Amino acid sequence: MNKVKLLVVDDEVDFAEFVAEVAEGMGLDVVLTDDPAEFALLYSIDINIFVLDLFMPDTDGVELLRFLHDNNSEASVIFMSGKDETVLHTAQELAHEQGLTVLGTLQKPFRAQELEKLLTKYVEETRPQGRVINEMPTPDDLRRALANNELTLVYQPQINIVDHEIKGVEVLIRWHHPLMGEIPASYFIPLAENNNLIMDISSFVTKAAIHQMVYWEKIGLDLKISINFSPKILDDLDLPEKLVTCAMEMDADISNVTIEVTETAIMSDVMRYMDILTRLKMKGFALAIDDFGTGYSSLQQLVRTPFTELKIDKVFVRGMIRDKKCRSIVEISILLAHKLDMTVVAEGIENEKTWNLLHDLGCDHGQGFFMGRPMAAAEIESWIDQRR
């Protein structure tokens, strides 16, 4: 089956690359440009989805919309903009009047999950005729994936912003379905959570990641690992003991393992999570609060829970160059974390300008495509050799 093809048009390179990153992670074929004048040259009837920024110099998204209408395009459209939200709605109505299909609109800055939701909607509703499987993966598919080694791990480097040395890696999970291709984690993790499979997924990730960390240590690579834990796992009061047992069986250094939890997860059952997280810290694990600034948790949780690391969400990091509010959130987050003796990691660094600004603001570590994409274990080793 041919891949779904995507054309991204946005004069802001970092957002164009962000959209491409998300779409490619879902197995889509992506072309991008930051020059709207190239749109006519890149246009093809084979393109399934156009992701258009509305506000661009010289040529705006509405003009590109007119081009699609004049060429009788049957493709779907996603609009995005960092300006007036009402204009997004008007553009959507205009597209409908022109007989075009609009998957949705995205107000910048937006999160990967918002874009994935729109792209998944397209994949579900427009599968080619004659396909063997006409639905997204089922719980049984996920069980088979676990049994058949379809799930793999990739690792994204985390770099010290001061001395440029690699600090460690964040562990990310991937699912390549033999028929459906890449299945986004934003789909299959909720599927696992809702069908009593998240414990199996987390067990696989934890064991494989720690095993890889121990191997790296043996070949002379001192890399810490950060593992994301679902709220569904963090309600297990026996979790600290289980993780210690897992680490001890592989002779791993517990202090090199960071457990990442989202700030919204903590709010669902504060007392229970404080119990578990405190014992994890007592046993030697590092604790990171992930996606900071995107949830609704009280700052009190930063005081009550023994976090050692604060991760600033990529939405704010990507927007900080052009948006004063995003920059202020990043700056305040760094100051707050340091006042609480926490290390700060900025996610989503896509260019040197952002890196330099984070350096000036005193951020400790960063990760993003500017330094390194998520890579397989062997690629990480080669990447480190090249840096040396």
Match 């959507």 to its residue by tokens: 92
> CA-CA distance, 211 to 206, in Å (whole number)?
8
Q: Is the pLDDT at 272 greater than 60, yes or no?
A: yes
Q: What is the full DSSP assignment across 322-333?
A: T-HHHHHHHHHH
Whether 27 has a pLDDT exceeding 70, the answer reads yes
* pLDDT tens-digit series, residues 329-363: 999 999 999 999 999 999 999 899 999 999 999 99
Q: In angstroms, how far is the first alpha carbon of the chain from the final one?
A: 41
Please, which pLDDT band fits residue 298 given cuts at 50, 70 and 90?
low
Indicate the range of 132-136, 227-231, 280-284 predicted with least confidence: 132-136
Bridge partners, 227 (sequence order):
171, 259
CATH 3.40.50.2300 residue ranges for the chain: 5-125
As its CATH architecture, domain 139-387 has: Alpha-Beta Barrel (3.20)
- Give yes or no for a contact between 149 and 136, defined as CB atoms under 8 angstroms apart: no
Q: Cβ(308)–Cβ(330) under 8 Å?
A: no
As annotated, the residues of the chain forming the CATH 3.20.20.450 domain(s) are 139-387
pLDDT tops 60 at residue 132: no
Residue 265 pLDDT > 80: no
CA dist 106 and 114 (Å) reads 8
Q: Is 70 exceeded by the pLDDT of residue 295?
A: no
Interval 259-281 mean pLDDT: 82
pLDDT-above-90 percentage for the chain: 43
pTM: 0.70
Question: CA 125, CA 64: separation in Å to the nearest integer?
Answer: 24
For the segment 251-274, the average pLDDT, to the nearest whole number, is 83
DSSP 57: S
**Domain 5-125 in CATH 3.90.79.10:** no
Query: What separation in angstroms does the CA of 343 have from each of 87, 213, 287, 385?
Result: 40, 21, 10, 26
Give the whole-angstrom CA distance, residue 52 versus residue 9: 5
Burial of residue 300, with CB atoms counted within 10 A of its CB: 0-12 exposed, 13-18 middle, 19 or more buried: exposed
Reported residue count of the chain is 388
* pLDDT (tens digit per residue) in 138-160: 899 999 999 998 999 999 999 99
Is the CB of residue 343 less than 8 Å from the CB of residue 141?
A: no
| Helices 198-218/239-249 angle, 10° precision | 30
Query: Does residue 50 contact residue 10 with C-beta atoms inside 8 Å?
Result: no
How far apart (Å, rounded) are the C-alpha atoms in residues 197 and 174?
Answer: 15
d(CA 240, CA 262): 18
100: amino acid identity, one letter: L
Tokens, residue 320:
């900080």
Residue 251 has pLDDT above 60, yes or no: yes
Q: In terms of Cα–Cα distance, which of 292, 294, 308, 297 is closest to 346?
A: 292
pLDDT confidence band for 190 (50 / 70 / 90): confident
Q: Report yes or no: 53 and 15 within 8 Å, Cβ to Cβ.
A: yes
Listed residue (376, 316, 315) closest to 113, CA to CA: 315
User: Residue range 56-70: average pLDDT?
Assistant: 76
